[in-house]
């Protein structure tokens, strides 16, 4: 495999070799029932919490048809956060595209399928936040210091939840009244806007976008490009944030595609720098082009969204 795969595997090995003292056994909770089935979360609580009792809630990726909260890379990411004193919570959410025959996905119906999958994930995330806030005191978590983070489909889910919260849209209805994320960190994410260009009636949470400019799975700009409805990627959202002076960091990985969705372990220093600054109340805009010799194109750079759902 190419260097990015080796880099990620090296990170996994390093984290897996952490001492037993640094390893936390998570507790699993059912946070809500949907369609007669339980949705679960794994809660990792640090032995030495941060002074500010901050928490990171992580949503896995997988195109809304695969993945789970307890895959190895998610578990190791949560363990790495716990070692820095963060509470870390990984949640499951409904994978709507498991209910859809991939052979029926066409450009003509893809928007509606994605809209439903994204809103379902955002709604489940809202229910998870409500459950966390109800238990925050018992877990030693500050409910106003919860950071939402995700990769790919998970990044779309957390961005969508904050977009719905800011605009009063239904997928955010289960959030506690007045609750707002301390920050949102999105690895290869986007939002779905239905019939309008994206706008925020109230300010979004401080947001960190990390994205490859060649990404055609979660498009860097917009998909489809000619209609108002669709997925708005970070290039478009950056303009919205910039115009309104909303706090955000925007890292464009030059010449890279959807590989960025898997960089959450590798980019822990960048994640921590952003979150630390935000939790200290700093208001910033940071637009950077990233050229990292260890982050190189792989097959994911050449893939588009149709390749993904056709199993290529």
Of residues 17 and 276, the one with the higher pLDDT is 276
Sheet harboring 191-193: ordered strands across?
Answer: 191-193, 230-232, 222-223
Give the CATH number for residue 155.
3.40.50.1820
| Helix locations, the chain, DSSP H | 3-16, 72-83, 107-139, 153-167, 234-244, 268-279, 299-302, 305-309
Q: So what's the pLDDT on residue 14?
A: 44
- The domain tally of the chain equals 1
pLDDT tens-digit series, residues 155-165: 999 999 999 99
What's the domain range around 256? Answer: 3-309
Q: So what's the pLDDT on residue 246?
A: 98
User: Chain-wide mean pLDDT for the chain?
Assistant: 90
Task: Please compute the mean of the pLDDT values over residues 229-234 and round it to a whole number.
Answer: 93
- In 10 A of CB 95, how many CB atoms? 19
Task: Please compute the mean of the pLDDT values over residues 84-111 and round it to a whole number.
Answer: 81
CB 171 within 8 A of CB 128: no
pLDDT tens-digit series, residues 127-150: 999 999 999 999 999 999 999 999
pLDDT tens-digit series, residues 173-228: 999 999 999 999 999 999 999 888 899 999 999 999 999 999 999 999 998 877 78
């Amino acid at each position: 495999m190419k260097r990015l795969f080796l880099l990620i595997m090296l990170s996994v090995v390093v984290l897996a070799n952490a001492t037993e003292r640094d390893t936390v056994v998570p507790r699993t909770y059912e946070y809500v029932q949907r369609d007669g089935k339980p949705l679960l979360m794994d809660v990792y609580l640090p032995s030495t919490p941060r002074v500010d009792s901050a928490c990171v809630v992580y949503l896995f990726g997988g195109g809304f048809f695969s993945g789970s909260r307890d895959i190895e890379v998610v578990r190791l990411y949560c363990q790495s956060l716990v070692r820095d004193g963060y509470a870390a919570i990984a949640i499951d959410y409904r994978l709507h595209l498991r209910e859809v025959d991939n052979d029926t996905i066409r450009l003509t119906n893809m928007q509606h399928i994605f809209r439903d999958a994204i809103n379902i994930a955002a709604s489940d995330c809202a229910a998870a936040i409500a459950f966390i806030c109800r238990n925050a005191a018992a877990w030693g978590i500050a409910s106003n210091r919860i950071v939402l983070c995700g990769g790919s489909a998970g990044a779309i889910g957390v961005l969508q939840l904050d977009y719905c919260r800011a605009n009063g849209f239904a997928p955010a209805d289960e959030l506690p009244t007045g609750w707002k994320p301390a920050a949102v960190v999105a690895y290869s994410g986007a939002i779905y806007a239905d019939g309008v260009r994206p706008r925020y009636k109230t300010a979004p949470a401080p947001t960190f976008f990390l994205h490859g400019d060649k990404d055609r799975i979660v498009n860097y700009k917009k998909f489809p490009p000619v209609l108002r409805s669709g997925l708005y990627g970070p290039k478009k959202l950056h303009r919205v944030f910039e115009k309104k002076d909303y706090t955000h960091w925007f890292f464009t990985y030059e010449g890279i595609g959807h590989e960025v969705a898997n960089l959450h372990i590798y980019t822990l220093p960048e994640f921590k720098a952003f979150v630390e600054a935000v939790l200290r109340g700093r208001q910033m805009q940071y637009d950077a082009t990233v050229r990292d010799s260890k982050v190189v194109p792989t097959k994911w750079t050449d893939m588009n969204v149709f390749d993904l759902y056709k199993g290529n």
